[in-house]
Structure 1
Amino acid sequence: MLGFGLSIEPQLWTLVFTMVRVGAAFVAAPVFGAVSVPVQVRILLAGAISILAMNARAIAAPEQIFSLTTIVMVMGEALVGLAIGFVLQIAFAAPLIASELIGTSMGIGFAQAVDPLNGRSSPAIGQFLSILLTLLFLSVDGHLILVDLILRSYEAMPPGAAWLSPDRLRNIAFFGGYAFLAGLLLALPVGFLLLCLNLIVGMLSRSAPALNLFAVGLPASLAVGVVALVAAMPAMGDYMLVMVHEALEMTAMLVFG
């Protein structure tokens, strides 16, 4: 009897209460929160993982449904879940920042494509790097680590008493700067070569003012950019793997403090 006056099993309300944190994490997290993943699949996954969490931890639903305490508890659960998924989403924004730098220097910043992960238009290079980062995330079992962290968060931050401290919120904000730094470092190999090319084209324009820079500079930037991407791809892949590990470590730090 939880406020409706109906004989509903308390386990059902416990499942719904547990799904708040899990569902919020899946909405904000990469891969699980992709537009291509149907809502029904997310609900089924959230329900299945919530059942595992209920069996692994002692979770109790609020005694009263329509009360201020219950609303605050639900808000706290949603905030914890969103924070866990949002930290990983920050790392997945770095390839988009790198693609903006590379695409603008190559002269193909106008090349846009629909990103299947978020449903928005993004640079073609950014879509390629995002897919590569997603594959690396799955290759190191990042999705399983995320599920494990969600389950272990019920022990570190018990339901009903879970609320992010100002220190943890500040760490999330500071980790947002990591996306800009990671994007800059990811674009550094290709961007440095394109910068050198632009300096050479600039010197040529000063020495030969009659030279058509658009007829020479744009094809040269595109060719050098493609060659630089192919040459720097192993190093970029290794650094994106480091980004995945950094994001998972930051998520664990958020959960355990």
Structure 2
Amino acid sequence: MLGFGLAIEPQLWALIFVMVRIGAAFIAAPVFGAVSIPLPVRVALSGAIGVLVLGTHPVTPPTEVFALATFLSIAGEALVGLAIGFILQIAFAAPLVAGEIIGNSMGIGFASMIDPQTGRSSAALSNFLSTMLTLLFLSVNGHLVLVDMLVKSYDAMPPGAAWMAPERFRDIAFFGSYAFAAGFLLALPVGFLLLCLNLIVGMLSRSAPALNLFAIGLPMSLGVGVIALAIAFPAMGDYMIIIVDEGLRAAQNLVFG
């Protein structure tokens, strides 16, 4: 019942209730939450996965739609979905940190472009690394792992009792430091070479003050940075796989404990 003497189809109301958690996760999660994904596509995916959930889990939605207990249950469902998507988004922030570090060291920090995930302007190198991480995420079926996690979350955190404990919020906050640590480690091979180059250029500028530091240092930083990226990119790709695994593992620990 709607609460005003009006009736609603029980199956439709159960589907809408299940779609709250799934839709909230798709809003916050990478790939699914990209601005390039149309809203009807997200709604259709949420509905399709909601039908799968209803077919495998005995979900019982609140009896009345316009009731305080129903609003609290919906808020709990949305909170769980947003937490699952947000913790994956934290892992996807590591390439943005690495791109800023490398780009500023190479002297191309001013080059920016529109990020296809967020629709905001960011460093071009950060967008390149973020795109590579997204492709690796899809190549290892991370999106399917996310969908499977959402379906199984109805066993670990059933609707109606889905409020997250304080220690789970603490885990999300602690995992936020992983974005900076992973970003620094991702930028370490190229950043170390550029740091050595800057030290050499600084020694040259002190020993030969007549040299034009900007005319020499900027082309050298750009050339060494491009070569270092080409050499270190296989190792960076391997570490991006680790970032994806850590993000999915953190999301699974959040849901299943």
Give the TM-score category using the shorter length.
over 0.9
After TM superposition, what 4+ stretches of structure 1 lie above 4 angstroms from structure 2? none
Distance in 2 of aligned mates of 1:187 and 1:205: 26
Distance in 1 of aligned mates of 2:5 and 2:21: 26
Paired residues in the alignment total 257
Provide the residue aligned with 2:39 in structure 1.
39
TM-score by length of 2: 0.99
Q: Match of 2:197, as an amino acid?
A: L
Provide the residue aligned with 2:210 in structure 1.
210
In the TM superposition, what are the counterparts of 1:158-177 in structure 2 within 5 Å?
A: 158-177=158-177
**Is the CA contact 2:76–2:163 (under 8 Å) kept in the aligned structure 1?**
yes
Q: What secondary structure sits across from 1:116 in the alignment?
A: coil
Q: Deviations over 1:175-218 (max 9, x none)?
A: 00000000000000000000000000000011001110000000
Distance in 1 of aligned mates of 2:41 and 2:195: 46
Provide the residue aligned with 1:198 in structure 2.
198
Provide the residue aligned with 1:156 in structure 2.
156
5+ unaligned residues in a row in structure 1: which ranges?
none
- 1:61 to partner: Cα distance: 1.3
Distance in 2 of aligned mates of 1:248 and 1:184: 20
* Alpha-carbon RMSD: 0.7
Provide the residue aligned with 2:183 in structure 1.
183
Distance in 1 of aligned mates of 2:69 and 2:63: 10
- 1:4 to partner: Cα distance: 4.0
**Is the CA contact 2:30–2:88 (under 8 Å) kept in the aligned structure 1?**
yes
Distance in 1 of aligned mates of 2:39 and 2:157: 27
Q: What secondary structure sits across from 1:210 in the alignment?
A: coil
Provide the residue aligned with 2:73 in structure 1.
73
In the TM superposition, what are the counterparts of 1:221-232 in structure 2 within 5 Å?
A: 221-232=221-232
In the TM superposition, what are the counterparts of 1:236-251 in structure 2 within 5 Å?
A: 236-251=236-251
5+ unaligned residues in a row in structure 2: which ranges?
none
Distance in 2 of aligned mates of 1:128 and 1:14: 41
- 1:7 to partner: Cα distance: 3.5
Provide the residue aligned with 2:235 in structure 1.
235
- 1:71 to partner: Cα distance: 1.1
Provide the residue aligned with 2:14 in structure 1.
14
Q: Match of 1:173, as an amino acid?
A: A
Distance in 2 of aligned mates of 1:188 and 1:113: 23
